[in-house]
A and B are shown apart, each in its own frame.
Chain A
Amino acid sequence: MGDSLAARLLGTTAGLAGLLLLLAVAIMAMTAPWLFPADPFDIVARPLLRPFSQIQHPLGTDRLGRDLLAMIAHGTRPSLVTALSVAAVALGIGLATGALAGMFGGLVDELIMRLADALQTVPPFVVALAVVSVLGPSLPGLVAALSLSAWTAPARVVRAEVMRLRSAAFVESSLLLGRNRAIVALQVVLPNAITVALALAAVIVAGALLSEAALSFLGLGDPNRPSWGALIAEGRQVMRTAPHVIIAPGIALFLTVLAVSLVGEGVAKALSRHNN
C-alpha cells in the first residue's frame, strides 16, 4: 500500500511540486552550517545593503549589517524541526487517543473527546502564547505549546475511522481470539486508520510553521537563534525604506508553507484515488 501511495503522490502535480520544493528547503536547512559557517548574527557589511548589490551578500543585509541569506538559511532548520516535531507529537497523541476512543467508546471516549472539546474551545494561538510565556522559548517549550492544540484534529478523524473499522470482520476476529482491546486498537485497527491522518499532517506542519514564525514575530522566540518570524518583525520597522528585509524571510516562509500544503494536497488526492 505504502509504495503505491508514494507513487500516486508523485503522480500528482501538486505532490511532485511540493516534494521538490520541500526537498530544496530541507537541503537549505542541512547545508546552512557548511555554506555559512560563521555566526549568522555577525555584522559583516554596511547596514541595509540592497539585494544583489554585493555578490558576497546576495540578499543584502539588515539594519545592523548582518547577512540576510545567512540568517534565513540558519533559520530554516529551527523552523522545520519545530514544525515536524509538532506534527510528530500531535499525530502520535492524536492517533493513540483517537484509536482508544473509537475502539472503547463509553467512558474512555467521553473522557478523551471532552478533553479535546475543552482544548478546541480556546484559540490554539492563545494557548501557544500562554505556554511559551511560561516555559520559555526553547524547542521543547515550543513543541509542547503548539502540540497541545494540534492533536485534537487527528484524534477526531482517527476516532471516526476506527469506529467504522471496529465492526469489520478482521477486527471482530482479532477480538474473538481473546486479544486485549487496547492492543487490537493500536496493532490492528490503527494501521488501517492511519492514512486518513496523513493528510492532516501537512495541515499541522503548515500551521506549526506559521505559528512558530508568529511567536518569534511577537518576540517570544529564542533571540539567540535566527528565526524567520523575528526577521520579519525587524523588517517591519524598515518596511518603507528597505523592504527587502521583510520580503526575503517572508518569501522563505511562504515557499515552505506552500511546499507543505502542496504535499498535503497531493497526499489527499493520492488517498482518494487509492480508496477508489
Chain B
Amino acid sequence: MALHRRDILAGAAALTAAAITGNARAQVAAARSGGILTVAADTEPRNLNPAMVASNGVFYVASKVIEPLAEMIDGGDGLAPRLATRWEGSSDGRTVTFTLRDGVSWHDGKPFTSADVDFSAMRLWKPLQNLGRTVFKNLEAVDTPDARTAVFRFSVPTPFQLVRNALPGLASVVPKHLYDVGDIATNPANTRLVGTGPFRFAEHRPGEFYRLEKNPAYWEAGRPYLDQIIYRVLPDRGAIAAALEANQIQLAAFSAVPLADMERLAKVPGIAVIPQGYDGITYQLTVEINHRRKELADARVRRAIAHAIDRKFVVDTIFLGYAKPSNGPVPAFDKQFHRTDLPDSGFDRRRAEALLDEAGLPRGGNGMRFSVRLLPAPWFEQTRQFGDYLRQALRAVGIDAQIANNDPAAHLKAVYTDHAFDLAIGSLVYRNDPAISTTILYESGLPAGVPFSNQYGYASPAMDGLVRRAASAVDPAERTALYRDMQMLAATDLPLIHVAEFTFLTVARRSVMNVANNPRWATSHWADTWLSA
C-alpha cells in the first residue's frame, strides 16, 4: 500500500482531533492490530444502503463500510470530519460548501470524488431516503467545480445548522459508478455494499452472519485495527447473553441482552456493561394520541393522561434505571435546543381525575369514564411492558384501556395508515435536530401512511406556523428560539405525551477496546476499535 504524505497528515489530524475531544476511553498508544471481532446482530435488514434507509439496524452494519461526510463526537462543535474535511454555509442559507477528503478510494479501487457526493445527494438522499426527503427537500443542485469541492445549492433558504446536524446520520456517500446504471432501489450494491470505509463488505449468509474485512487501502493510515468484524445473527435474547458468557461473541449492542440480565452479566469476570455511546441516537418513549377520538381531542384529557403516568416508576421498573423521565419533544442530551423549563406534568392521580371530571367525563356505573384501544409498539420489550403499565395507570383514573398487540407491519398500518387506534405507545428516535425527526410529529397535513409522523389528526395553526418559520430560519439563534417556543407549545398542548428518553447498553468483553467513544458509537465506523491480547 502506497502511503501518501497527505494520508499521514490526515491521520495525524484525526489523532489530534481525538486527543482534543479528551476521550477517556481512547487508548491510541497501546492499540494492537489484528483479530476478529464477533458481535451479535438481532435483525437482518434487507436493504443495507444507509443512503436510502437511515435506520440504526442498517447503520450498525453499514457504517463500517459506507462513510458519512462527518461524524458525531462528544464535545467541541459536536462534529468531526469523515469524507468531508470542511463545511461552510453561506449567510443567506442558499449554499453549503464542502471540501472533500483527498486520496480516498472506493473499495473497488476507483477514486472518490465530488461527483459521488452530488449523485448520492441528488439521487438518493433527497428523493429516496426516509429522513433525507424532508431535510434535502429544497436541495436544487450540487455543483462540483472540482473533484474535491461540492457546493449544495438550495432553492429556498435552508438553515446551515440543520444541514450540519444532518451530516452524521443522513449524509452517507455511495459510489456513483455503481449506482449510475439501472434502478437504484434494486441495485445489487444495496445488499453487497461498496464504500470508502475502514471495512469492506465480504459476505452475508442469511440467517447466519455478515462478514466485513479490513480495508487495507483505508485513507486513515494504520486503521482499522481489526482484521474482520462478524455479525452473528442471533434473534434470541437469551442466546445472546449465553454467547457472550461463552465468549463466542465479544459484543452485543442496542441492549440486545434483556435489561434484567445486565446486573448479573456485569458481575461476570471479563464482561463490561457500558451505558455510553448512544446519546446521539436517543429514543423517546411516547404515548401517541388519536385526536380523532372526541374525548382525546380535549387537551384536559391529554393532560390527565400525562398526570396518570408515574415516570419515576417507568424509569426505575421498566428501564431498571437506564432511562430518564422526559416531558418534552427534545431530549436533554441536545443542549442546542433542549428546554428545561417546560410545565411539569408530574404523577398526580387526583389532578388527573379532576381534569377528567372537568372535561365532562364522570365515572360511569362500572367505575370507568370511557374506554380506549391501546396499541403498544412491538419494537422493544419496554414498549410492550409500558403498555401493560399504562393500562393499569389509566384504569386507576377511570379510563378503561384495552390492549391490542400487533406484529410490526400491522402496528405501522394500524397507527400510521388506518388510524385504527386511540392511544399507541411508540419509541421515536431523536435525530440530532428537531427538523429531522421531531417537527414531522407535530405539523399537520401529512399524507396517511408516513410512518413516525403526525398521523394523530392533530392540527394547530400555531404549531404549523412555528414549524414553518423554523424551517427557513437561517439565523441559528432565531431558529433555536423558534424550536424552544415549539417545545413549550408541545408541552402545553400535549398532542403526544413524552414519558421517558432512553438509550441503550452495550455488553462487551473487556478485551474489546475503544468501545463507546462517540455518541453514535454502535452506528459509527469502528476504525479505532481493537482487541487486546
- List chain A positions with a Cβ less than 8 A from chain B: 39, 41-43, 47-48, 63-65, 219, 223-224, 236-242
- Complex CA distance for A219 and B318, rounded to whole angstroms: 19
List, in ascending order, chain A residues with CB within 8 A of B381's CB.
Answer: 237
- By Cβ-Cβ distance, the 6 closest A-B pairs, closest first, are A223-B403, A238-B260, A237-B258, A241-B260, A47-B317, A223-B405
- Complex CA distance for A262 and B221, rounded to whole angstroms: 73
List, in ascending order, chain A residues with CB within 8 A of B260's CB.
Answer: 48, 63, 237-238, 240-242
Taken residue by residue from 139 to 172, chain B's Cβ proximity to chain A (1 for < 8 Å, 0 otherwise) reads as 0000000000000000000000000000000000
List, in ascending order, chain B residues with CB within 8 A of A39's CB.
Answer: 392, 395
**B318 touching A64, Cβ below 8 Å:** yes
**B392 touching A43, Cβ below 8 Å:** yes
- Complex CA distance for A48 and B317, rounded to whole angstroms: 10
- Complex CA distance for A35 and B385, rounded to whole angstroms: 26
Does B192 belong to the interface (CB within 8 Å)?
Answer: no
Shortest Cβ distance from residue A262 to the other chain B in the assembled complex, whole angstroms: 32
- Complex CA distance for A70 and B263, rounded to whole angstroms: 28
**A64 touching B388, Cβ below 8 Å:** yes
**B263 touching A241, Cβ below 8 Å:** yes
**Residue from B261, B387, B389, B405 in contact with A43 in the complex, judged by beta carbons closer than 8 Å:** B389
**A64 touching B317, Cβ below 8 Å:** yes
Closest to A62 in B: B388
**B317 touching A42, Cβ below 8 Å:** no
List, in ascending order, chain B residues with CB within 8 A of A242's CB.
Answer: 260
**B403 touching A42, Cβ below 8 Å:** no
Given contacts A223-B405, A240-B241, 4 further A-B contacts (CB under 8 A): A43-B392, A64-B318, A223-B387, A223-B388
Does B339 belong to the interface (CB within 8 Å)?
Answer: no
- List chain B positions with a Cβ less than 8 A from chain A: 237-238, 241, 258, 260-261, 263-264, 313, 317-318, 381, 385, 387-389, 391-392, 395, 402-405
- Complex CA distance for A241 and B262, rounded to whole angstroms: 9
Shortest Cβ distance from residue A232 to the other chain B in the assembled complex, whole angstroms: 13
- Complex CA distance for A240 and B241, rounded to whole angstroms: 10
Shortest Cβ distance from residue A226 to the other chain B in the assembled complex, whole angstroms: 11
- Complex CA distance for A224 and B401, rounded to whole angstroms: 9
Shortest Cβ distance from residue A139 to the other chain B in the assembled complex, whole angstroms: 15
- Complex CA distance for A48 and B381, rounded to whole angstroms: 16
Cross-chain pairs A/B with CB under 8 angstroms, 11 sampled? A63-B260, A63-B385, A223-B404, A224-B391, A224-B402, A237-B381, A238-B260, A240-B260, A241-B261, A241-B263, A242-B260
Closest to A219 in B: B405
Shortest Cβ distance from residue A129 to the other chain B in the assembled complex, whole angstroms: 12
**A240 touching B403, Cβ below 8 Å:** no
Closest to A47 in B: B317
List, in ascending order, chain A residues with CB within 8 A of B403's CB.
Answer: 223-224
Closest to B401 in A: A224
- Complex CA distance for A23 and B260, rounded to whole angstroms: 37
Closest to B265 in A: A240
Shortest Cβ distance from residue A7 to the other chain B in the assembled complex, whole angstroms: 47
**B264 touching A240, Cβ below 8 Å:** yes
Closest to A41 in B: B392
- Complex CA distance for A79 and B519, rounded to whole angstroms: 48
List, in ascending order, chain A residues with CB within 8 A of B402's CB.
Answer: 224
Closest to A42 in B: B392
**Residue from A47, A64, A223, A241 in contact with B264 in the complex, judged by beta carbons closer than 8 Å:** A241
List, in ascending order, chain A residues with CB within 8 A of B385's CB.
Answer: 63-64
List, in ascending order, chain B residues with CB within 8 A of A241's CB.
Answer: 260-261, 263-264
List, in ascending order, chain A residues with CB within 8 A of B395's CB.
Answer: 39
- Complex CA distance for A38 and B66, rounded to whole angstroms: 56
- Complex CA distance for A270 and B381, rounded to whole angstroms: 49
List, in ascending order, chain B residues with CB within 8 A of A236's CB.
Answer: 238
Q: A63-B385, A224-B403 are in contact. Are A237 and B317 (CB under 8 A)?
A: no
List, in ascending order, chain A residues with CB within 8 A of B405's CB.
Answer: 219, 223
Closest to B241 in A: A240
- Complex CA distance for A41 and B390, rounded to whole angstroms: 11
- Complex CA distance for A239 and B257, rounded to whole angstroms: 12
Shortest Cβ distance from residue B423 to the other chain A in the assembled complex, whole angstroms: 14
**A65 touching B317, Cβ below 8 Å:** yes
- Complex CA distance for A43 and B238, rounded to whole angstroms: 26
**Residue from A42, A64, A239 in contact with B238 in the complex, judged by beta carbons closer than 8 Å:** A239
List, in ascending order, chain A residues with CB within 8 A of B241's CB.
Answer: 240
Shortest Cβ distance from residue A209 to the other chain B in the assembled complex, whole angstroms: 21
Shortest Cβ distance from residue B499 to the other chain A in the assembled complex, whole angstroms: 15
**Residue from A41, A238, A240 in contact with B388 in the complex, judged by beta carbons closer than 8 Å:** A41
**B391 touching A237, Cβ below 8 Å:** no
List, in ascending order, chain B residues with CB within 8 A of A48's CB.
Answer: 260
- Complex CA distance for A103 and B387, rounded to whole angstroms: 54
Which of B238, B381, B405 is packed against the most chain A CB atoms within 10 Å? B405
- Complex CA distance for A239 and B237, rounded to whole angstroms: 11
- Complex CA distance for A64 and B402, rounded to whole angstroms: 18
- Complex CA distance for A42 and B318, rounded to whole angstroms: 15
**B317 touching A41, Cβ below 8 Å:** no
- Complex CA distance for A237 and B261, rounded to whole angstroms: 8
- Complex CA distance for A64 and B386, rounded to whole angstroms: 9
- Complex CA distance for A129 and B210, rounded to whole angstroms: 32
- Complex CA distance for A219 and B317, rounded to whole angstroms: 22
List, in ascending order, chain B residues with CB within 8 A of A64's CB.
Answer: 317-318, 385, 388-389
